[in-house]
Each structure stands twice: as C-alpha cells, then as structure tokens.
Amino acid sequence: MADNSDRVMTDSGNRVITDNGLGPVELAVLTFPGRRAAPPVVDALREVVDHGDATIIDLIYLAKDEAGRVEQVEVDEPLQDLGLDGLPVEPRGLVSDADLDIVRASMDPGTSAVVVVYEQTWARRLATTIAEAGGELALHVRIPRDAVDAALAVS
C-alpha cells in the first residue's frame, strides 16, 4: 500500500494543503437571545457528533450584556450554566482573536454566541477510503445556499 503521509489536496479555494489527518474544517457562529444556547440546537449538534458525521475541534462561548461588555468562556471552562455541557470537543485552538473580534463586533446586546469549529469527519473517512483504493478526491466545492435555493426554484 502506498504511503499517503505526504499527500496533498486542494480545498475549495484551490489552495494546496498538506494532509494533516483532518477532513474539511469549518467555523460556524450560532447566536441566541439571552445567555444560554437553545437546548434543541445543542442536542442536534450532539447528535451529529455522536453519529460520527462531525468532530468539534474548538468551541468558544461569548455573551454580550446590555452595557456591551462581552464574557468569553473557553471549552476547557465549565459550560453547564450555558447549556453546552456534555458536548464532546477535541480542542485544537483554531479560533483566533481576530475571528472572535469579528463575532464580538457583530453581536447585539443581550445575546450570546457559540463559535464552533468542526471537522467534517464523514469526508475524512471517505477521502481516506478513496486514497486507500488508489483514487483521489480531486475536487471538493461547497455550493452556496443561495445558489442551491435559486436552482431548485427554477426546476
């Protein structure tokens, strides 16, 4: 079997990246009124992780009070009061202060946000299987939701 440790692939931005053992990684910002994440949302996120479709590799909670002060809670701090306890996270420290500055600036007073970085674990498993079969994941492009909605509206 070929050694794939030095494989390279392209991401949707056509940049060449080395295979670090992760599938595609994305950052999402989930916002909520008040100080707690909505339990159904946390349950849905936990379900996606439990099914092996995604792996949370960073999570940061932010809350902005009415005076505009922002509280930040890292994944290694207690999360139960925020409704985020029990989420499996394999922290890798991928969220930068610059990323968080953008989120903080966009938040309204009296709201909270969960910044979650996740790996599309299913895609890593598929890419690994393709490589082991001698194939290559030649292209992976995310189609913007607006484009999908527009295409479906025409058909």
Residue 58 and residue 89: Cα distance in Å, rounded? Answer: 7
What's the average model confidence in pLDDT over 40-48?
A: 92
Weakest-pLDDT range from 18-22, 55-59, 132-136 = 18-22
Percent of the residues in the chain that have a pLDDT greater than 90, as a whole number? 50
Are the C-beta atoms of residues 87 and 30 closer than 8 Å to each other?
A: no
Percent of the residues in the chain that have a pLDDT greater than 70, as a whole number? 87
pLDDT at 22: 79
What's the average model confidence in pLDDT over 116-134?
A: 89
Burial 47-60, CB ≥16 within 10 A → b, else e: eebeeeebbbbbbb
pLDDT band at 19 (very low <50, low <70, confident <90, very high): low
What's the average model confidence in pLDDT over 106-113?
A: 96
Q: Name the more confident of 40 and 86.
A: 40
pLDDT at 1: 25
Tokens standing for 54?
């995604």
